Amino acid sequence: MIPAQPALRLPAAPAAGLIKIMKKAIWLLLLSALTIRAEVRTKVVEYQQGDTTLEGVVVYDDAVTGKRPGVLVVHQWKGLGDYEKKRAEMLAKLGYAVVAADIYGKGVRPDNPKDAGAMAGKYKSDRALLRARANAGLELLKKQPQVDATRLAAMGYCFGGTTALELARSGADIKGVVSFHGALNTPTPEDAKNIKGKILALHGADDPFVPLAEVTAFEEEMRKAHVDWQLVAYGNSVHSFTDWGAGSDNSKGAAYNEKADKRSWEAMKTFFAEIFR
């Protein structure tokens, strides 16, 4: 008599809970892969203006595919530092490729008001050199493989705002310029006729370093040259209203203002959306 064979037992189907765990693990792996790929890249780059070596920073988000508008960011009076790098990262997250320019030269980073004032004054008194340094940064921006060289803009803070305006007055082929609490004056207002793009000046209404007479002269300069321009004055705001490290005492002439900071950033975003469409 043939003994009875044991019944064939198939493996039990995974429990519903195990399936959920496996699905969640796969989803987390995919999310992790996307997070690794979608990263803001930062690269320090040396470049030249004449015999001077400059050191700028290239910033872009590698989650954005193809060429995109390029933005040149110009630093405040103490030179290229963490503040401008942070702003460049914020711009990269909006989908722009950015070069944070160096006007002063590699390693030249004044760390006190006296030296910073002297360095900024050197370039403000030599607008040809200031324009040359700004244009060198623009050329670096154009060379970046992520950049659509037909869609460029420049922006800057304080000294950098002044520099961005001078870049426009030099006749640079850019779509627009944004100045955040920058000085608006120039020794050659007639050069406004060279401006090819649009201008957005974001100004602290109570800024003692950019008095009403200077604002009025800027407005007249823009009108005479038939520039497409805007000037937004933020109430209760003085110089450096976007600078998180500027303190909160308006009586010192320079202070951070959260409302003006956020409003001016939104104004910049709207402006860029217009010029780059």
Cα separation, 73 vs 71, in Å, equals 6
Mean pLDDT, residues 196-218 taken together: 98
Helix axes 113-124, 159-169, angle to 10 degrees: 10
DSSP readout, 48-98? EETTEEEEEEEEEETTS-S-EEEEEEE--TT-S-HHHHHHHHHHHHTT-EE
Contacts of 44 (CB under 8 A, 6+ apart): 55, 56, 57, 58
Query: Over 70: is that where the pLDDT of 277 sits?
Result: yes
Can you give the pLDDT at residue 131?
98
Query: Over 90: is that where the pLDDT of 3 sits?
Result: no
Query: Over 60: is that where the pLDDT of 166 sits?
Result: yes
Can you give the pLDDT at residue 15?
55
Mean pLDDT, residues 158-178 taken together: 98
Express as a percent the part of the chain with pLDDT over 90.
86
Can you give the pLDDT at residue 239?
97
Cα separation, 127 vs 189, in Å, equals 12
Cα separation, 36 vs 21, in Å, equals 22
Return the structure tokens found at 46: 């040396």
Write out the CATH class of domain 41-275.
alpha beta
Mean pLDDT, residues 112-125 taken together: 96
Mean pLDDT, residues 59-71 taken together: 95
Mean pLDDT, residues 107-125 taken together: 96
DSSP readout, 116-172? HHHHHHHHHT-HHHHHHHHHHHHHHHHHSTTEEEEEEEEEEETHHHHHHHHHHHTT-
* pLDDT (tens digit per residue) in 13-34: 455 555 565 555 555 555 454 4
In the chain, domain spans: 41-275
Helix (H) or strand (E) holding 46: strand 40-49
Query: Over 70: is that where the pLDDT of 267 sits?
Result: yes
CB 92 within 8 A of CB 98: yes
Q: How many residues does the chain have?
A: 277
Q: Residue 216, Cβ neighbours under 10 Å: how many?
A: 11
Query: Over 60: is that where the pLDDT of 88 sits?
Result: yes
Query: Over 90: is that where the pLDDT of 220 sits?
Result: yes
Cα separation, 223 vs 221, in Å, equals 6
Return the structure tokens found at 111: 């760390």
